[in-house]
Amino acid sequence: MLSQNKMVDIGFGWRIKYFTTLVIIFAICIIIPLDIQCQNYQAFKSIKENSIDSASLLAAESGNKFSVFEQVFLLRSNVDLDRKEKVKFYLISLAKDGFYLEDILAIKTINSFYLTELFNSDSIFRKFYHIKVSESKSSFEKDTICQAIEKIYNMDQDARKLGKLINNYGYINGIDSLNQILIEDILLSSKPFLLSHKAQDQLYNILLHLCRRMDDKLFNKIDSRLMSLVLHKNFHPVSYAFIVDERLKVNNSNDYPMYNFLSNEKLGEEKMRRIENARCLINAF
The angle at the Cα of 203, spanning 200 to 204, to the nearest 5 degrees, equals 85
Q: Give the pLDDT confidence score for residue 13 in this predicted structure.
A: 54
What is the model's pLDDT at position 246?
A: 96
pTM of the model: 0.84
| Residue 250: C-alpha distances to residues 1, 157, 172, 260, 277 (Å) | 11, 22, 18, 14, 23
The predicted pLDDT at position 4 comes to 44
Residue 10: the pLDDT is 47
CB 243 within 8 A of CB 278: no
Q: Give Cα separations from 74 to 88, 178, 224, 280 (angstroms).
A: 12, 39, 28, 17
pLDDT in tens, the chain (285 residues): 444 444 444 455 555 555 555 555 544 444 445 555 688 999 999 999 999 999 999 999 998 899 999 999 999 999 999 999 999 999 999 999 999 999 999 999 999 999 999 999 999 999 999 999 999 999 999 999 999 999 999 999 998 888 888 888 777 778 888 899 999 999 998 687 899 999 999 999 999 999 998 999 999 999 999 999 999 999 999 999 999 999 999 999 999 999 999 887 789 999 999 999 999 999 999
Work out the burial of residue 128: count CB atoms within 10 Å of its CB; fewer than 13 is exposed, 13-18 middle, 19 or more buried. Answer: middle
Dihedral angle sign, alpha carbons of residues 13, 16, 19, 25: negative
Please report, as a single letter, which amino acid is at residue 174.
Answer: G
Residue 5: its pLDDT value, please?
47
Q: What is the pLDDT of residue 36?
A: 59
pLDDT at 17: 54
Long-range CB contact pairs, 13-16, < 8 A, 24+ = 13/216, 13/220, 14/216, 14/248, 14/251, 14/253, 14/255, 15/255, 16/220
In this prediction, residue 264 carries a pLDDT of 73
| pLDDT for the residue numbered 64 | 87
| Cα–Cα distance measured from residue 257 to residue 262, given in angstroms and rounded to the nearest whole number | 8
Three-state SS for the chain is CCCHHHHHHHHHHHHHHHHHHHHHHHHHHHHCCHHHHHHHHHHHHHHHHCCCCHHHHHHHCCCCCCCHHHHHHHHHHHHHCCCHHHHHHHHHHHHHCCCCHHHHHCCCCCCHHHHHHHHHHCHHHHHHHHHHHHHHHHHHHHCHHHHHHHHHHHHHHHHHHHHHHCCCHHHHHHHHHHHHHHHHHHHCCCCCCCCCHHHHHHHHHHHHHHCCCCCHHHHHHHHHHHHHHHHCCCCCHHHHHHHHHHHHHHCCCCCCCCCCCCCCCCCCHHHHHHHHHHHHHHCCC
